[in-house]
Chain A
Amino acid sequence: MRSGDVGPCCLPPLLLPDMEVQSELASVGAKHLQRCINDLVSLLALPAVWSGGDPSQVLHTLLDALMRMLRLDLISVTLTDPVDGAPVEIVRLAERKGPMPSAHDICTALGHCSNNDSRKWPPVLRNLMGEEDVSIVAQPLGLQGELGVMVVAAARKDFPQQTEALLLNVAANQTSIGLQEARLLSHQKRVASELDQRVAQRTAELAIANEELKRELAERKLVEQALGKARSDLAHVARVTSLGVLTASIAHELNQPLSGIITNAGTCLRMLATDPPNVDGARETARRTIRDGNRASEVITRLRALYGKKDAAIEPVDLNEATREVLALSMSELQRNRVIVQQQLADDLPLITGDRVQLQQVILNLLRNASDAMSTVDDRPRDLLIRTELDENGQVRLSVADAGVGFDLHAADRLFEAFYTTKNEGMGIGLSVSRSVIERHHGRLWATPNNGPGVTFSFSIPCESEGMTRDGTRASRIPLASDGA
């Protein structure tokens, strides 16, 4: 403590008696020290207030404290590296009676040190500004002044006293610590939020990729479903196409027994109306009516079996019986086309395992093709021979031989192509679908020209013992239309 720095009301020490002055000096000195220590403690407690990590809060609390403690007239803090919105410069001015040089003037005065390195500034700069003697102290912030600089000024000649300089120093240190902490904290926050952002982005990317995958899966499922449906539709179309062609025959088949029913019933009424009623005759007409009704019912059952949309049913099949049914149904159409049908169905033909309806479709297709092949033949009988036998390979074989126009040998390999047709109204799916049906039964479908006119179409299928087992447990079971085959 220097002499003469106690305050404005002190007298030169020589004028006072030694002892009084000493003790008075001592008590004033002690109070002063005490105040200084209190201030020091407050400064040291500041970091607790700064725990929020906000640089501007740091500065404002510091400036408030310093202004009060040191009775400053001006404080200016300049931060060299502003962080997160901390002000580049804060200036506080105390209210004074007289005019005070502005911060600008002070900075200019400092600048006249011709040295912008705050570490090299004089600790104290006394300047005459206007009427006043202004003492300016510059404190660098940060270990090497990298954080900024704090400039304080007071219009007192004796500023700063030793204690005041100490407090300023401590304040500067605390500020540096506080600012460093604030910077660290905000850096941490930045890193954390960057990390959060990256995680969020990643999550979003993953979510998008996930959605796309889900969408693709759903699409694929739809496509597979559509494919399955298209396959079974195609099988149905193959069946139903023959339906269109046979419509005339169907009407024919049903209208015959219906006609019989109506005629018999009319006759019955007339017979009963005679005097005396012809009961025997009426009875006979009633009997015939029932029989015709049953005939019609059979026709419908056969048609439904052939054209109803059923799933493939694997079972043992008697190919002869299946053939007879198909022939019965298509006989009238064949006869209308003047086709003469001969059957040679082998006795004791072994059973085969497969889908009866699909196989009947194939037989129907072959019969129609044979009939169509002979539609322009007039110089010879339109003979159609349908034959079943056990062939030399032990397989069940069915063949349909016609006496038609034959096929061009060059086109032989195209016969079974889908959509290949030589007919004007044909759709060309008959032979292609037929072949795939037979192949699904582990069989073969082929065509050979006859020795005479016409062609023989044949298919062969393994017997029940070699083919499928009823529960489909053979390794190569017949794939159904709905399979992904």
Chain B
Amino acid sequence: MDAAPRAAHSYGMELRQERRAAERPLVSVVDDDESVRESLPDLLGEFGFAARAFSSAEEFLASDSVDQTRCLILDVAMPGMSGPDLQRELKLRRRELPIVFITAQREETVRPQVLEQGAIECLFKPFSDTALLEAINSALRLK
């Protein structure tokens, strides 16, 4: 457990140094859970990203972050519009963003479904910070 954070940390440091000159990519977090919304932005900051958190898909869609978001960290189960619903909606609006799903459900069907719909990754809570970083970097490499 010790090696991973250090390795990721150094990688994160590289990224941050790389991005100090350029603009820090915006990673948006959409999750109805308060713990997640509070904890992720700081971690993303340590990775060298700019981060914004939204408590619902509707809130995200109504904001001006949609166009600027380089990677979306998206909860699956939410009241109102769910994560997969948002994924579909973004497709319809032709604003497809790379999405990393996060979910507390352990249902087997969720992950294959969202991956099939084009998600970069689907992580199960609780996930490690390195797993998250890898997923985000995969997403960014696509651009």
Assess whether B40 is in contact with A263, with CB atoms less than 8 Å apart: yes
Assess whether A270 is in contact with B104, with CB atoms less than 8 Å apart: no
Assess whether B127 is in contact with A267, with CB atoms less than 8 Å apart: no
Assess whether A273 is in contact with B79, with CB atoms less than 8 Å apart: no
Cβ of B40: which chain A residues have Cβ within 8 Å of it? 263
A380 to B: closest C-beta gap in Å? 15
Partner of B128 from the list A262, A292, A335 (CB cut-off 8 Å) is: A262
Assess whether B78 is in contact with A256, with CB atoms less than 8 Å apart: no
Cβ of A258: which chain B residues have Cβ within 8 Å of it? 125-126
Give me the interface of B with A, judged by CB distance under 8 Å.
5-6, 9, 12, 32-33, 35-36, 38-40, 42-43, 46, 77-80, 102, 104-107, 124-129
Assess whether B46 is in contact with A263, with CB atoms less than 8 Å apart: no
In whole angstroms, what is the CA distance A432 to B128 when docked? 46
Assess whether A292 is in contact with B129, with CB atoms less than 8 Å apart: no
Assess whether A338 is in contact with B79, with CB atoms less than 8 Å apart: yes
A interface residues, tally (CB under 8 Å)? 30
**Chain A: which residue is nearest B38 at the CB level?**
A288
**Chain A: which residue is nearest B130 at the CB level?**
A266
Assess whether A269 is in contact with B5, with CB atoms less than 8 Å apart: yes
Cβ of B78: which chain A residues have Cβ within 8 Å of it? 335
B33 to A: closest C-beta gap in Å? 4
Contacts across chains A and B counted by CB atoms under 8 Å: 92
Partner of A256 from the list B43, B104, B128 (CB cut-off 8 Å) is: B104
Main secondary structure of the interface of A (DSSP, over half): helix
A443 at interface (Cβ–Cβ under 8 A)? no
Assess whether B105 is in contact with A248, with CB atoms less than 8 Å apart: yes
13 example contacts (A-B, Cβ-Cβ < 8 A) are as follows A251-B105, A255-B104, A255-B124, A258-B126, A262-B126, A264-B43, A269-B9, A271-B42, A273-B6, A273-B9, A332-B77, A336-B77, A338-B80
Given A262-B127, A267-B42, 20 other A-B residues pairs in contact with their CB atoms under 8 A? A248-B105, A251-B106, A255-B124, A256-B36, A256-B125, A257-B35, A259-B39, A260-B36, A262-B126, A263-B36, A263-B40, A264-B43, A269-B5, A270-B9, A273-B6, A281-B42, A284-B42, A292-B39, A332-B77, A336-B79
Assess whether B104 is in contact with A285, with CB atoms less than 8 Å apart: no
**Chain A: which residue is nearest B129 at the CB level?**
A266
In whole angstroms, what is the CA distance A132 to B12 when docked? 153
In whole angstroms, what is the CA distance A338 to B77 when docked? 10
Assess whether B5 is in contact with A266, with CB atoms less than 8 Å apart: yes
A190 at interface (Cβ–Cβ under 8 A)? no
Cβ of B124: which chain A residues have Cβ within 8 Å of it? 255
